[in-house]
Amino acid sequence: MKNKPKAYESIYTPFESIVLFGTIIVFMLLVLIPFVTLISGSLSNSDAITDYGVRLWPRKFTLDAYRVVFMYPEEMLISYGVSILVTVVGTIINVLLCSMVAFALSRSYFRYRKAITVYLMFTVMFNAGFIPQYILYRNYLMLYDTYWVLILSPAVMVGHIIMLRAFYSALPEELYESVRLEGANQFVVFSKIATPLILPGIATITFYSVLTYWNDPSTAMLYTEDIVPVALYLTRITNYIEFLKYAQENGFAGLDMSDYKIPEATVVYAIALATTAPMLCLFAAFQRYFVRGLTSGSVKG
Amino acid sequence: METLTEKAVQSDAAEFPAALPVQTKKKRNGVQKSEDRQLLLLCLPALIKVFLFSYLPLIGLVMAFQFYIPRRGLFGSTWMGFANFDYLLKSSIASRLITNAIAINLLGIVFGTVFSLLLGLFLFEITNKLFLKISQTVIIFPYFVSWPLVGVLVSAFLGEDTGMLTSVLHSMFGVDVDFYAQPKYWWGIITIANVWKTAGLSAVVYYAILTGTDKSTYEAAAIDGAGRFKQMWYLSLPALKMMIILNIIMSSANILKVDFNMVYFVSNNAAALYPKTDVIETYMFRALRTEGDYSIGTATGLVQGVVGLVLTIITNKVCQKVSHESLY
Amino acid sequence: MKKISWFFVAVLMLSLVLSVSSCGQVGDLQEVFEDDGEPYEIVYYMVYNDANPPQDITTVENALNKILKKEINSTIDIYAYTLAEYTSKVSGAIAATVKFDVCFTSPEINPYITNVQREAFLPLDYLLPTYAPETWAGIDQNMWDQARVNGKIYGSINEQIYPRSFGLDFRTSLHIGDYLNEFYPGTKTDNVYQVLEEQGKSAFEFVTEYLTWMKETNRGAGGRISGLDTESTLQNLYGFDNLCTGISTPGVVNINDDTYTVVNQFETEEYEEMIDQVYEWKEAGFLKSGSAYDITPESNWKPGYRQDTCVKLSDPHYFTSYIIGTMNAISSTSENPARAMKFIELMRTNPEVHNLLQFGVEDVHYIKDPENSNRILQYVDGSGYNNAQFGWGLGSEFISLLQPRQPDDVWEQVKQINAETPMTGLIGFNFDATSVKQKIADCRAVTNEYMSALASAEFVDKDAKLEEFRQRLKAAGADEIIAEKQRQLNEYLASKQK
């Protein structure tokens, strides 16, 4: 953005402005409308929306759905606590481990550079899949229903290492050479010299990492029971609804599946919003740093 | 989780050449050796983590050649040779999983690239700071949303009675469509959700790259009387060409890999939609959690892994040809 | 590259270590177990039939422990999972050979055959008669045969209603009550089918007439039906027994067919009639709407269940899949299977144990009717435990407390139906699907695409789609499955005649 736009650049022909602004505004609307629908749905009367469907404006405005959701708020608060804990600890571990590896891999004089890169990349291309993983985590690593499985299993994301490596590589080589000649310890170079210089990069990765941890339902779906992060909180409800629908359509021999109430759509919308809205606001507030990190990261290459 | 990593790999590996000369061949002196040791130590925690969580499970792949019985363990179960793969190929399962994965990925690549490019190029032409800021914030927003929430959003549109689209179709056109019972729409719906969630971020990345390019050529072009769209076509697009090509090549290496969370949550895991939404990841998931065919599930995973590995090696070669640099 | 191979060596070494630790030649499943009488903690994976897991399971466990301590010197540890999660949680535990004792199983939920094949359950042929004599004696031998896989029983059948009748829930007691009063005076929801039989009317005609009447009298919401359920219509109404493979696998036997011919249910006239009926309703504008007052195709009728609105539209019949509809099994990881069996017996014979599991603790989770000690007056709101909807999975429904709206003699009615309905010759026959496993998977994929769409009139060109459906089933190997079913059935019938 260093290049100041010249005056002629801000003059648009009518056709141009319609196409340019029009396209972007349409896309913005496409992004926003679903959220508006969801909010409106959660504020509607549930009978009204079963009869007429959700609209952009609440139908027979009511806070009933939220009353149901917040009748017993403890569960959701606990979920928030779990998610925050997992996200904070997980992000610290992930960013620390990733930056350590990334730093080492950015050193051209590091002997095992190539080997470690291949070692890490291989796991992205080829993995054992859910089943062997499940048995290993649960039987041998004893991680079932622990916080550690949520914290460790997504940690050391290879994509993050590659991004950070680029940041470290972009630092001027002379910087390292001078301290190398003085015989400085590599740990000191990493923590005192290199890392403070790539803080924007660290911030971007932290942001990505927080996002990944916060929005990860599948690890919890597989590996925890009593520890319910918010991503799973919502998932459980949608899974239950899908199960009931399936049961009603297909029937289960010998089981009576007809006496169950499918949770009202409005309540599901309210839960969806309650579980995600606070974090979304937080992300929205911080997103410009994210964009900035992304921008500087991409430009430097 | 998967997309984020892959996205980052795609966008950044393409961006950053890792190539600096390596001096492994030379005899290493004492200082270098101690440096190597220190750097290795820095890597160690991550290496151990990856070993435990990603390499150890590979042993379990032997399941693909067995009829796995949990109580008999990995080495006590009956060996089946290639019978599980045979079963997969002879039944319609393999073809269904592979067709769906390829379709969902191809549609995602094509529409994702088109939309994010269009947006990125258009954003670059916007000079109004405020509009730029607002539009960036808005279009990047879906990227922060979790897939379960996207699933709920989709159901708010397509739900049987309550959905906005279904009820509009019903009341205005008299058409009753039960989307969650009709598989044929779902490649499209998943693609829309995919583009909706990720195109904004890619657009901002494209935009960021463009802002880093030299603007003087644009001025020259403008003086020569090239219109805005001509500039877009002849100047901006070529600036992004390499990245687009690399992105596409790299995505094609992952053609059998589909983001599990995306498919699972957007389709609400509805059984009626499996003909068009079932992919290797969801099949493995079900094999573990409901259908209990551990061995066949593992076999599908193995097929996916091997194909992925081969494709990655090929695409890496292609990338080297195209950009004269290795990706890894 | 040298370093990479170093890592693979490490992987190999570790795999060797793991293989040694997990190898220890495991033999076939044991059958005979003795009870040492020592204190033992039974781990029970229970279905909790609600949207969310219970908040308060400790109170129930404590109350149970007192009884179990006295009766079988045991304590209990309950893991309660909702039905939506049950299969996946137990399946996960089985995959990881987690130690547990008792779990629920049925053809679809925590699938019985699959689990038997992966040796997750113990054979009960010795345990049942030895440690659960009442359970063993209380169920007909034919029915035990139904639970056999390769000659052995792996599940203890729960006592509940076995024969099924076709029924539809009309949802609004006002409308259906008025309708019956007007056109079938003196008829109640549970004997409509007899009157229809006398008049020679079909169930569908009854529904159509009702819907027409609703429309003509302008009664508002409740005048529509949201399609038919293929499984219960073909099975309960037309009497097609699917031989425990589910309706989506081709090959059924009409229970009234003395020759026991296996036919493709999707090629029968009955199936066509059912589809035609749905499309007829669609044309007349009777099909589908979002209202909660419309007739639903959840089509099981049983005594005491929504007696105001649920109309019984066919005779009850025994079907193979409903016999083993709900069972309890003992895990092959159990350390004291004899004790686990005793616990299963207690669920069936000890009303205290059964009702604790079903309703929780008296005065904490529910309040009894002061006038009738066998009836629940009301559940305590937000008490954290209410598994009332799982009576059919806890040994025996017949010792359950009466729920607020159940008639006093509900269990007598059920027992009567169980006793009076004639068994069919099919009960006891088990189909071994191993040889046609892949064809079944293929057929299911095809049925998934067409079945429920046809049953709710989603396709515009019905006839073309039906033809396409049948063609694709044939291509997927429907005929081979049917031939295999017929072959095994003939063998079974021949062996029975000896």
A191 touches chain B (CB under 8 A): no
Is the pLDDT confidence value at B313 over 60?
yes
Is the pLDDT confidence value at B325 over 60?
no
**Domains by residue range for chain C, with CATH:** 32-160+322-417 (3.40.190.10), 165-238+269-321 (no CATH)
CA neighbours closer than 13 Å in the CB half-sphere of residue B195: 23
Residue C208: per-residue pLDDT? 92
Q: Is residue B40 part of a domain?
A: no
Interacting residues of A4 by C-beta distance below 8 A, sequence separation 6+: none
Report, in angstroms and rounded to the nearest whole number, the Rg of chain C calculated over CA atoms: 25
Query: By residue range, what is the domain housing residue B104?
Result: 100-328
CATH number of the domain where residue A224 is located: 1.10.3720.10
Is the pLDDT confidence value at C87 over 80?
yes
Q: Is residue A242 part of a domain?
A: no
Which of A2-6, B213-217, B316-320, C467-471 has the lowest average pLDDT? A2-6
A80 shares its domain with A210? yes
**Which pLDDT tens digit goes with each residue over A170-208?**
888 888 777 777 777 888 889 888 899 888 889 889 988
C300 burial level (CB within 10 Å; 0-12, 13-18, 19+):
buried
Interacting residues of C258 by C-beta distance below 8 A, sequence separation 6+: none
> Residue C463: which pLDDT band, with cuts at 50, 70 and 90?
very high
Is the pLDDT confidence value at C58 over 50?
yes
d(CA C192, CA B204): 67
Average pLDDT estimate for B118-139: 87
* Interface mutation target, options A15, A20, A24, chain B, most CBs of B under 10 Å: A24
List of chains touching C (3+ CB pairs within 8 A): A, B
More confident call, A65 vs C2: A65
Q: Compare CB distances from C107 to A244, A247, A253 and report the shortest one's residue.
A: A253
Structurally, chain B folds into a number of domains equal to 1
Query: Cβ of A103 and B38 within 8 Å?
Result: no
d(CA C43, CA C90): 12
More confident call, C7 vs C349: C349
The dihedral through the CA atoms of A233, A154, B190, A246 has a sign that is negative
**Which pLDDT tens digit goes with each residue over B230-245?**
788 888 888 888 888 8
Q: How close is the nearest chain A Cα to the Cα of B65, in Å?
A: 13
Residue A289: per-residue pLDDT? 72
**Mean pLDDT across chain B:** 83
Q: Are C452 and C168 in contact (CB under 8 A)?
A: no
A24 shares its domain with A152? no
List of chains touching B (3+ CB pairs within 8 A): A, C
A189 burial level (CB within 10 Å; 0-12, 13-18, 19+):
buried
Share of chain A above pLDDT 70, in %: 88
Average pLDDT estimate for C350-378: 92
Is the pLDDT confidence value at C290 over 70?
no
Contacts of B167 in chain C (CB under 8 A): 290
Structurally, chain A folds into a number of domains equal to 2
Share of chain C above pLDDT 90, in %: 47
Average pLDDT estimate for C112-138: 93
Average pLDDT estimate for B285-298: 87
Query: Cβ of C449 and B275 within 8 Å?
Result: yes
Share of chain B above pLDDT 70, in %: 90
Is the pLDDT confidence value at B131 over 60?
yes
Query: By residue range, what is the domain housing residue A50?
Result: 7-62
Crossing angle (nearest 10°) for helices A199-214 and A265-300: 160
Contacts of A53 in chain B (CB under 8 A): 161-164, 166-168, 170-171
More confident call, B113 vs C171: B113
d(CA B322, CA B318): 6
Q: Are A298 and B212 in contact (CB under 8 A)?
A: yes
Residue A4: per-residue pLDDT? 44
Q: Is residue B18 part of a domain?
A: no
- The 3 state secondary structure assigned to C116-129 is HHCCCECCCCCHHH
Residue found by looking up tokens 């609703």 in the block: C214
Q: Is residue B61 part of a domain?
A: no
**Number of residues that make up chain B:** 328
Is the pLDDT confidence value at B7 over 60?
no
Residue B281: per-residue pLDDT? 93
Find residue C42's DSSP bridge partners. C76
Q: How close is the nearest chain C Cα to the Cα of A145, in Å?
A: 12
Is the pLDDT confidence value at B21 over 80?
no
Residue of B nearest to A141 (CA): B52
Residue A158 CB neighbour total at 10 angstroms: 25
> Residue B324: which pLDDT band, with cuts at 50, 70 and 90?
low
Q: How close is the nearest chain B Cα to the Cα of A202, in Å?
A: 14
Query: Cβ of C51 and A240 within 8 Å?
Result: yes
A78 shares its domain with A57? no
Interacting residues of B153 by C-beta distance below 8 A, sequence separation 6+: A34, A35, A37, A38, A272, B145
Query: Cβ of C19 and B71 within 8 Å?
Result: no
A224 shares its domain with A113? yes
Is the pLDDT confidence value at B12 over 50?
no
Q: Compare CB distances from B182 to C96, C445, C458 and report the shortest one's residue.
A: C458
More confident call, C276 vs B223: C276
Is the pLDDT confidence value at B99 over 70?
yes
Q: Is residue A224 part of a domain?
A: yes
Is the pLDDT confidence value at C112 over 80?
yes
CATH number of the domain where residue B239 is located: 1.10.3720.10
Contacts of A121 in chain C (CB under 8 A): none
Q: Which of A33, A62, A91 is the last residue of a domain?
A: A62
**Which pLDDT tens digit goes with each residue over B148-181?**
999 999 988 988 777 888 888 888 887 778 788 7
Q: Compare CB distances from A208 to B4, B9, B261 and report the shortest one's residue.
A: B4
d(CA B216, CA C195): 91
**Mean pLDDT across chain C:** 88
Q: Is residue A171 part of a domain?
A: yes
> Residue C274: which pLDDT band, with cuts at 50, 70 and 90?
very high
Residue found by looking up tokens 């390769």 in the block: C150
d(CA C61, CA C67): 10
Residue C329: per-residue pLDDT? 96
d(CA C264, CA C474): 10
> Residue B33: which pLDDT band, with cuts at 50, 70 and 90?
confident
CA angle A178, A179, A180 (to 5 degrees): 90
Q: How close is the nearest chain C Cα to the Cα of B320, in Å?
A: 20
Chain A residues 28-67 with CB within 8 Å of chain B: 28, 30-32, 34-35, 37-38, 41, 49-56
Contacts of C306 in chain A (CB under 8 A): 259
H-assigned helices in C2-132: 2-23, 58-72, 83-95, 112-117, 127-131
Average pLDDT estimate for B77-93: 87
Residue A18: per-residue pLDDT? 85
Q: Which helix (H) or strand (E) holds C47?
A: strand C40-48
The dihedral through the CA atoms of A228, A232, A234, A236 has a sign that is negative
A157 shares its domain with A198? yes
A113-118: long-range contacts (C-beta < 8 A, 24 or more apart)? A113/B22, A114/B22, A114/B24, A115/C1, A115/C2, A115/C3, A115/C4, A116/B43, A116/B47, A116/C3, A117/B18, A117/B328, A118/B328, A118/C4
Q: Is residue B27 part of a domain?
A: no
> Residue B23: which pLDDT band, with cuts at 50, 70 and 90?
very low
Is the pLDDT confidence value at A258 over 80?
no
Which of A46-50, A212-216, C164-168 has the lowest average pLDDT? A46-50
d(CA C131, CA C35): 9
pTM of the model: 0.87
